[in-house]
Chains A and B, each alone.
Chain A
């Protein structure tokens, strides 16, 4: 069964500082990997995705993530955080097409607080 671990429950950074949110996954094959963001009172929004090719993927709002197969990781990064980035971030894994399942498995999330 697939699983996702986000080791950090809560991270606080200063505005303008760099950010890295950690994500480790467990899956028997090459997974599809995602980062979603959930702002208060809003629905989950897709930040970026990886399913093949270049292991460094770019997303919206200046975020990027790097897939490292050897470490089973898909960490999210941003070089300079803005106050509006304060939200909860979820890493997720989906089975490859043809697996017969459409379940997206989420981690427990990392809450990001930004100090002005």
Chain B
């Protein structure tokens, strides 16, 4: 069990650029989640995958955000035309169908800074 890994750990970009984050979940986990955490706040739900299917999306996930999990393994989160308000820590988590909703295993996060 190597845990949930995220890449890159830190990304600095200029406003208007596109960025992509990758998440590799724990290998046997078929559920994958993306959360966003801003300074002084708790994590906020963005989206959820079960295998390759994206089953739930938050209203926070604007049209500039897209997430994929093409083969039901790793996932990517892309932000197009970044804005300063997108600066946050993007957290990925995974879980298995056999455990209860909410028991998530989190990665260390990818911090985005938009200048």
Spell out A's residues near B (CB within 8 Å): 4, 32, 34, 36, 41-46, 49, 51, 90, 92-97, 101-109
Contact = CB atoms under 8 A, between A and B. Distances in A.
Main secondary structure of the interface of B (DSSP, over half): loop
B102 interface: yes
A97 B100 CA distance: 8
Given A32-B101, A102-B33, A43 B106 contact: yes
Contact of B103 (A34, A96, A101): A34
B101 A95 contact: yes
B44 to A, nearest CB: 7
Interface string B90-115: 01010000001111111111000000
Nearest to B49: A102
Contacts, number: 71
Interface residues on B, range: 20 to 34
Interface of B: 3-4, 31, 33, 35, 40-45, 48, 55-56, 58, 91, 93, 100-109
Contacts of B106: 36, 43-45
